[in-house]
Structure 1
Amino acid sequence: MYETIYHRPSSVDEAVALFGKGSEPKFLAGGHTLIPVMKQRLASPSDVIDIGKIKELIGIQVTGDTLVIKAATTYYDIMTSPDVKKAIPAIAHLTSVLGDPAVRSRGTIGGSIANNDPAADFPAALIALGATVKTNKRSIAAADFFKGLFTTALEDGEIITEVSFPIPEKAGYAKLRHPASRFALTGVFVAKAKNGEVRAAATGASQSGVMRVGAIEAALKGNWSAAALDNVTVSADGLLGDIHGTADYRANLIKVMAQRAVEAAG
């Protein structure tokens, strides 16, 4: 690894100030992306600013019809939270199939969505649930936050502070995991909002990262059941094809995972 200066600020304002002073600074949350990249010498930040222990960035609460998860809250805390299990059980399930115990004990929701890995789980949940990403500067709708592979709407020095999820009537998540990495070869999050709107988002499938699946949404809008998807055909256009599966294979996985997610949602 290259030489770097490690900082552990106690507040968001302090973290932002430290970022502004560094020549090539990077924020660190759980560390599952930045540390391996540094070890491979693909990144050499002048300053590593650890925001994972800032108290104002940790916590979960339910306010009215909204579940709020602070950015530095770990996957483990999300997975075991009674508030999450009651408000949106599908999010608790999503974290339970994310990575392994070591990843879940350190990884954070903010770190995941800021990195925007094309096979990450949480982006699909944000898109399907119509979540809002809040930062130290503004609020960003999930639909406007994810901009493509490893790309988001975040500006330099901008820190995610929390994610707000409208509590749906029903929601479910299912994925086929890569046996080694536990990333999603394809995962689908489905949600039916209290106003009746249906959304389905897939991760691990598209060349552009997380995506909505219109064919799934249209079928479920008229009939919320796994059987409603029996005759649905998902286009393979724009989907990933690699050593793990062709684009056609992933198109079929979207349908199958959507059916499983609907069954899980009830």
Structure 2
Amino acid sequence: MNILVTGATGFVGAWLVRRLMTEHEVFCLTRNSDILPQHARVHVIQQDLTVPLNQARLPGTMDVIVHLAQSRQFRKFPDQALDIFQVNTDSTLQLLEYGRRAGIKTFVLASSGGVCGYQPKPILETDPPEIINFYLASKYSAECLVKAYADYFSTVTLRYFFVYGEGQRNMFMPSLVERVLQGTPVVVAGKTGVSMNPVHVADAVEATARAIQIEGQETINVAGPEVTTVFDLAESIGRLTGKKPEYQFEPEKGPMAMVANIEKMKLKLGVMPKVSLQEGLGRLILDMTGKR
């Protein structure tokens, strides 16, 4: 198949391109092609998603679009609100329209488990949204746009929960590793901090690769099978690195869980995550330090 991937040089995108290029023609929509693999089936399309799509650079036909790109400015609201909206929401509409004209069979959108907020029970895909910030508003808006095109092709929204792994930097899990290694206090709300079930990038990519075969309209959580907390993660990192974590405990501010129900991922995608939390943390730490 011919597959267009946005965010192809991002964390999940870079892993996905390597997964897909052995079987498919992969068209990478990206601002920076320097880190893409040199491969006969990898094709570069230069495009900045903060400006309108250059239709002249896009193939006339396409089978699948996997929209992974997200704004790099997602932490900078309100100063970078326009950038966040353009990349996360406006580009989604432009890609949907391109996909309709190009005759795609499937559109896969990368969204966030955070659109349902913090909940006292495992989050189902059917739970109502609980939008807690502008970034998540932009993601949920993109979800709504994708669903509106379900009459024209299959639409799959993947809600990722705390994806982590080798090659990731400046996000939750690697930042937690850095804090433990540097002796910087880990901020913990209440006794344990937020509960979550992180998923290793290899398992998230397997779920994404299988999503391109889905027919119809689906929203699917992508998360790991093991529930943990900020405190437990810091303790595990401490054991793996030989560094005793420092903590800064703060009062709880309401529900402290963002845990996904993953039954639909197992049923619809046939994916049961293979990388345990212990193994995944060890691989991330090795990647960051060069030693166990």
Higher strand share: 1
TM-score, normalization by structure 2: 0.28
Q: Comparing both chains, which one has the higher relative contact order based on Cα–Cα distances under 8 Å and sequence gaps of 6 or more?
A: 2
